[in-house]
Chain A
Amino acid sequence: MKRVSILLLLVLSLALATGVAGAQNIELTYWTHTDDNRTIIENRYIEEFQELYPNVTIKRVVNEAAKMGDLMLTAFSANNAPDLFNLPIEQEYGYMMHYRVAPVDYEAIGYKDAQEMIDQYLAGTFDPVTMDGQIYGLPLELTNWSIYINKNIFRDAGLDPEKDYPKTWEEMIEVADKLTLRDGEIITRRGFDFRYPYYLVAMLPMVEQLGGQLLSDDGKTAIVNDEAWLQVFEWFRTWGPHGRNLGSPTYTSARKIFNMNNNDIGMCLTGFYQQGRIRIDNPEFYDSGEWMVVPYPVFENAVNDVACSYYGHYMMVNAQTSPEKQEWAWRFIAYMLDHPWEYLETVNIIQPRGDLLADPRYMELPYMNVFMDDMERGHIVFLHENGFQFERFIKEAIESVMLSNMPSEEALDILRERIQEVLDDQY
C-alpha cells in the first residue's frame, strides 16, 4: 500500500511539474516579409530574447512581401493568424478597424502610459494606428520613395545626371525616352518605371498634385476633380505601349533590376532601404558612387507640391491570441525595436524615433536629405477600411488605359462607380 502511495505521489508530482512548465512555456509565431538584411539581425534578436527568457520560443516566418496581404487575411479569416506580424499600414488599417489586433501593452514594453511612449517618437507617428484613444501598433519603419538614378546610363545617353534628371512628370517622359533602348518595339533598356501594384503610395499623389482626390473630404463621394484624374490617366497612356512605349507593368519590376547595374534600367522609384539591398546585391555598384537619389517629380501645371506618400510598417499583435501571449509578443516587439541604429545601418529602414532622428549621424547618411525633404512634401498613404480594395480598382483603371487602350473617361467612370458602390454599401 505504501509503495503504491509513493508511486502515485511521484506520478502526481511529475504531472504537476510538467503542467506548470507547460503553462509557463510561450510559443510565439511572428510573420514578416522578406528582407535578407533584416532576417540576419532579427534572428539574432530572437536568439538573444530566448536566452533572456528561456520559457519563450519565437518562430519567425518569412513571406514574400507581395503575398503577405493575402496570406494574412486568409489566416485571420480562419482564426489561425500569427501572434505578431507586420504589414504596410494601408493593409493593417482594416485589421485595426475590425478590432482584430490588440492595443499596445504600455507596461509590458516599459512605458508608464501612452503619452510617455508617444513622446519618444516623431509627432504624428501613431496617428494611423490610433482608434478610440487606443494605439494598436509600434512602427518598424516609416518609408517614402524617391527616384534612384543610375548615373552611367544617363551619361551613356549623353545626359548629365546632376543637371538633367527629371523635375517634372513631363520631363520624366522626355528623359526616359532618351534613356530607353529598343529592339523594334521591344524595350531592352527602360529609362524609368513605376512600382505598379502600389498605386495609393506612388500614383495617387500625382492626382493630388493636380488638385484631385480619391474621396471627397467627407468621405462620401468617390473621385474629386475629373480633370486631374484624366490628365494622369492620359500620362500613363503616353507612358505605356499605346503611347511612347517607355514601360509597362508586364516588364520585370524596375526596383528589382536596378541593383544589378546591367544596363537595363535608368531610374526607379524606391525607398532609403534600397541602399541596403544594393549593398548586398552589388557591393561594387554601391561603392562606385554611380547612383544617386533625386526628388519625386511634379506636374508642370501642379497646384499642390505633393511627393510620394509615405507608409509605415507597424508591428501588431493578434487580438485573438491569449493575454499572456499578447504580453510576451509586445515585450519581444519592444526588444527588437530597441535597436533603431542597427535597423538603420544594416537594413536601411527608419524608425521614427526622436533619439534616432535627432542624432547628427542621421542626416549624414547618403541622400537622407532628399528622402526627408520628400517626406515633408508628402503625407501618410491614403488610409481607409477599404483602401486595399480601392487600390485594386485604381490598378484596373490605369492598366485598362495603359495596356488595353480604354478611353480614359470610360476607365474613370468605371472607377468612380466601383468605389462609390463600396462607399454606399451600408454593410
Chain B
Amino acid sequence: MFVIPSLILFSAFSFFPIMNAFYESFFNRNLLSLRPPRFVGWDNYTYLFRSKDFWLSVQNTLIFTLGTFLPLLVFSLILAVFIMSISRFRRFFQMAFYSPAVLSSVVAALIWLLIFDPRGLANQGMNALLGTAGINYNWLSTTGMLRLSTIIVYFWKYIGYFTVIFVSGIGSIPDTLGEAALIDGANRWTLFWHVTFPLLKPTTMLVSIMTMIQCLKTFSTQYMFTSAGAPTRPINVITLNIYNTAIKDYRIGRATAMSILLFVVMFVFTWLQLRVSRTEDVSYT
C-alpha cells in the first residue's frame, strides 16, 4: 500500500519513458518532421552495430569509465578513511570535499574550461611543478590530454560525493568491533584491511555501481568542452553521440536505439555487481 505512490511515480517518470524510448527505437523519425514515423524494425540497431562512429563512442565511453571509475573508488575510500581518522576539522573536510558535487555540471565544466585555457592555471601549475617554462600541455586539444581533462573534471566533481557515502559506511560500523580488534593486538593497518574494509563491502558495492553508472552517463563536461572548441572525436562518448544524433542530426529513432543499448549495458553491469555483492552481505546482529 505504502509503495503505491512511489510505484506510480516510477511508472510515470522512469518506466514509461524507457518503454517509449524502446518503442521509438523501431522507427525512423525526423525530429523536425511532422510526417508520421516509419517503422524500420531492428534497422536502427543493425545500423549502430555497423557504425564506426558508434563504436568510437563506445571506445571513448569505456576509456572514460575505466579512467574515472577506479581512481574515484580508490581515492574516495582513502579520503573517507582519512576523514574518519581525524577528530578535528572532520566536518570541514567533509564539506570541502563535498562542495564541488553541489555545483551544476555545466558550471563545473565552465570553471575547468578557464583552468585548461592555454593561459590558464593548468599550464601555469604544470610548468611550475615540472620546472618548465611556456610549455602548452594542450589540455583541450590533443587526444590524450583532452581525455585526461574530462577525467579530471569528473574526478574533482564526484570525489567528495562518494567520500561522504564511504564516511557514512564507516560510521555505521560499530566501534566495538574495532576496539575488540585493537585489544586483540591489531594495528591500524590490519584493523583497516581485516575489519573495516570487509565490513565496508556493501558500501563499496553501492559506490562502485553508482560510480559506474555516473561514468557511463557522462555528458555535460564533454558537451561543454566540445562547444568551447575542443575536438569532438576523442571525447565523443555515447551520451554526446545520442545528443548529437537527436538534436543536431534530427534522428530520434537512432538516438533512442543508442539510449536503449546504453541502458542495457548499465543494467547488465548493475545486475552483475549486485549478484557478486549478494554473497557478501554484512549484518551486525
Taking beta carbons and an 8 Å cutoff, which residues of A are in contact with B? 66, 70, 73-74, 76-77, 94-95, 97-100, 182-188, 196, 241, 248-252, 386, 388-389, 392, 395-396, 399-400, 403-405, 418, 422, 427
Residue pairs across A and B with CB atoms within 8 Å: the count is 101
In this complex, the member of A97, A186, A389, A392 whose beta carbon has the largest number of chain B beta carbons within 10 angstroms is: A186
Q: Which of B131-173 contact A (CB under 8 A)?
A: 132-136, 138, 140-143
Bound complex: CA A184 to CA B53 (Å) = 36
- Name 17 interchain pairs, CB-CB below 8 A, sorted by A: A70-B248, A76-B32, A77-B31, A95-B32, A184-B134, A185-B135, A186-B123, A186-B136, A196-B229, A248-B229, A250-B140, A250-B229, A389-B250, A396-B232, A399-B229, A404-B233, A418-B53
Q: Which residues of chain B are near A70, meaning CB under 8 Å?
A: 247-248
Least Cβ distance of A417 to chain B in Å? 8
Least Cβ distance of A291 to chain B in Å? 24
Is B227 close to A, CB under 8 A?
Answer: yes
Bound complex: CA A251 to CA B252 (Å) = 33
Among A100, A183, A403, contact of B134 (Cβ-Cβ < 8 Å): A183
Q: Could you tell me the dominant secondary structure of chain B's interface residues?
A: loop
A94 to B231, Cβ gap below 8 A?
A: no
Which residue on chain B has the smallest CB distance to residue A196? B229
Bound complex: CA A297 to CA B150 (Å) = 37
Taking beta carbons and an 8 Å cutoff, which residues of B are in contact with A? 28, 30-34, 38, 53, 116-119, 123, 132-136, 138, 140-143, 227-234, 244, 247-250, 252
A187 to B118, Cβ gap below 8 A?
A: yes
Among B32, B132, B138, B227, contact of A241 (Cβ-Cβ < 8 Å): B138
Other CB < 8 Å A-B pairs besides A73-B31, A182-B134, A404-B141, 12 of them?
A76-B31, A94-B250, A98-B30, A183-B134, A185-B135, A186-B134, A187-B118, A250-B118, A251-B117, A403-B141, A404-B142, A427-B28
Which residue on chain A has the smallest CB distance to residue B245? A389
Bound complex: CA A278 to CA B30 (Å) = 41
Least Cβ distance of A7 to chain B in Å? 43
Least Cβ distance of B52 to chain A in Å? 8
Instruction: Enumerate the 9 nearest inter-chain pairs by beta-carbon distance, A residue then B residue, closest first.
Output: A184-B134, A249-B229, A185-B136, A399-B231, A403-B141, A250-B140, A98-B32, A77-B31, A183-B134
In this complex, the member of B32, B136, B231 whose beta carbon has the largest number of chain A beta carbons within 10 angstroms is: B231
Q: Which residues of chain A are near B132, meaning CB under 8 Å?
A: 184
Bound complex: CA A392 to CA B232 (Å) = 9
Bound complex: CA A77 to CA B118 (Å) = 38
Least Cβ distance of B237 to chain A in Å? 14
Q: Which residues of chain B are near A252, meaning CB under 8 Å?
A: 117
B133 to A427, Cβ gap below 8 A?
A: no
Which residue on chain A has the smallest CB distance to residue B249? A389
Least Cβ distance of B169 to chain A in Å? 40
Among A98, A196, A400, contact of B33 (Cβ-Cβ < 8 Å): A98
B247 to A74, Cβ gap below 8 A?
A: yes
A185 to B34, Cβ gap below 8 A?
A: no
B119 to A188, Cβ gap below 8 A?
A: yes
B231 to A403, Cβ gap below 8 A?
A: yes
B141 to A241, Cβ gap below 8 A?
A: yes
Bound complex: CA A330 to CA B94 (Å) = 57
Bound complex: CA A70 to CA B224 (Å) = 13
Bound complex: CA A395 to CA B248 (Å) = 13
Q: Which residues of chain B are near A404, meaning CB under 8 Å?
A: 141-143, 231, 233-234
Least Cβ distance of A264 to chain B in Å? 9
In this complex, the member of B30, B134, B248 whose beta carbon has the largest number of chain A beta carbons within 10 angstroms is: B248
Least Cβ distance of B114 to chain A in Å? 10
In this complex, the member of A66, A97, A403 whose beta carbon has the largest number of chain B beta carbons within 10 angstroms is: A403
Least Cβ distance of B250 to chain A in Å? 7
Which residue on chain A has the smallest CB distance to residue B141? A403
A184 to B135, Cβ gap below 8 A?
A: yes
Q: Which residues of chain B are near A249, meaning CB under 8 Å?
A: 228-230
Bound complex: CA A237 to CA B160 (Å) = 41
B28 to A248, Cβ gap below 8 A?
A: no
Which residue on chain A has the smallest CB distance to residue B229? A249
Bound complex: CA A153 to CA B234 (Å) = 36
Bound complex: CA A187 to CA B117 (Å) = 11
Q: Which residues of chain A are near B123, meaning CB under 8 Å?
A: 186
Q: Which residues of chain A are near B34, meaning CB under 8 Å?
A: 98-100
Bound complex: CA A76 to CA B119 (Å) = 40
